[in-house]
Structure 1
Amino acid sequence: MGRWEPNARGRLEQAALELYSEQGFEETTVKEIAQRAGLTERTFFRHFTDKREVLFPHSNPLQEFIVTGLVGAPESAAPIDAMAMALEAASGLFQERQEVVRRRQAVVSANPELQERELIKLASLASAVTDALRGRGVEEPAASLVAEAGIAVFKIAFVRWIGETDQGDFARLVRDTFDELKTVTAGG
């Protein structure tokens, strides 16, 4: 593949994930990623600041989808239900990419530095969700509680989903996990 072929970013992402899976994150160099993608290191650095950025891009489509879902939820929806709707709507980001997401998560889970980065990303997501809930008129501490509960539901549903081999429905797992949370908090 030559440097002039399209989708350099996608090729770099694919090459990086392959190499991280084959030889580990720490052992993989930017040079190897670029070579596997048929590109130069310079091209790599036009798209990413470092090799972690391949797994954690600056833009966060998940956050954008969830916040947009919260803003667009019916005003009559209880905060926790609005959160559930937003997470269900965002589940489409993952559904078509389960194998790639599963491989990415295996790389993250194998590296403490990447696990830490993932936790920072989730904390940022919780903060953005809290702000969106406040924008809906949800007072504190309810806004923070719903945001943190929603992130916990997301994490649990996500772990269950990547563990399924039958390409399970992520939105269904989100709903099931929210239902379980409601049952537990209602004393059931």
Structure 2
Amino acid sequence: MSRWEPDARGRLAQAAMELYRERGYEQTTVAQIAERAGVTERTFFRHFADKREVLFDGGQALQEHMVAAVEAAPPSESPLDLLAAALDAAAGQFAEMPPEFPRRRQEVVAAHPALQERELIKLARLSAALREALRHRGVAEPAAGLTAETGVAVFRVAFERWAAGEAGPDLAVVLRDSLAELRALSR
């Protein structure tokens, strides 16, 4: 494959996931990923800081979509309804990609404590961004913080269930069901 073919970033991500699955995350090198994708190592580093970041590439876009959903919701929405809008936006981020990719990514992350730590950092940033969006919407503390933390917990639990194949093929349904379970618990 020529290094001038389009979508180098996508090819790198695909190559990384294939190699992580075949050889394991720890045993896979950037050189191997670049070679499999048909690009140079230099091209790899134009797209990703290191092999770990291939797994966390969509985190910022996910956060932006969830925050935008909170900001765009009608003014009369309750904090939990704002959370539901954010979770729907999250599901939309995954609707366009083949489910194998996030599921394989989850397997890799779950198998490595350092990657789990990075995942927790990503989720903490997501919670902080949601909290700030809720506060901008007029949700007072501690409700803004509790709603944001709850939203991240619902997302994480639902995503893990979906990635493990326990809850059906549609992440949006799993997210809504998980939020409904939370609402039932809080009654």
* Alignment TM-score, normalising by the size of structure 2: 0.94
Identity across matched positions, percent? 58
Shift of 1:86: 1.6
Q: Cα distance 1:141–1:177, how it changes in 2: closer, same or farther (>3 A)?
A: same
8 Å CA contact retained: 2:3, 2:39: yes
Partner of 1:142: 143
Structure 1 unaligned regions, length at least 5: none
1:77 is paired with a residue of what secondary structure?
A: coil
Partner of 2:30: 30
8 Å CA contact retained: 1:12, 1:34: yes
8 Å CA contact retained: 1:83, 1:146: yes
Q: Residue type of the partner of 1:69?
A: A
Q: Cα distance 1:74–1:146, how it changes in 2: closer, same or farther (>3 A)?
A: same
Q: Cα distance 1:137–1:166, how it changes in 2: closer, same or farther (>3 A)?
A: closer
Q: Cα distance 1:25–1:167, how it changes in 2: closer, same or farther (>3 A)?
A: same
Partner of 1:159: 160
Q: Residue type of the partner of 2:70?
A: L
Q: Distance in 1 between matches of 2:180 and 2:51?
A: 38
Q: Distance in 2 between matches of 1:179 and 1:173?
A: 10
Q: Give the number of aligned pairs.
A: 186
Partner of 2:21: 21
Partner of 1:108: 109
Shift of 1:163: 2.2
8 Å CA contact retained: 1:87, 1:174: yes
Shift of 1:85: 1.6
2:116 is paired with a residue of what secondary structure?
A: helix
1:60 is paired with a residue of what secondary structure?
A: helix
Partner of 1:49: 49
Shift of 1:166: 8.4
8 Å CA contact retained: 1:73, 1:86: no
8 Å CA contact retained: 1:12, 1:37: yes
Q: Cα distance 1:88–1:58, how it changes in 2: closer, same or farther (>3 A)?
A: closer
Shift of 1:165: 7.2
Shift of 1:89: 2.5
Q: Distance in 2 between matches of 1:47 and 1:89?
A: 25
1:18-45 Cα distance to aligned partner (Å, 9 max, x none): 1111111111111111111111111111
RMSD of the alignment, in Å? 1.5
1:91 is paired with a residue of what secondary structure?
A: helix
8 Å CA contact retained: 2:59, 2:122: no
Q: Cα distance 1:5–1:167, how it changes in 2: closer, same or farther (>3 A)?
A: farther
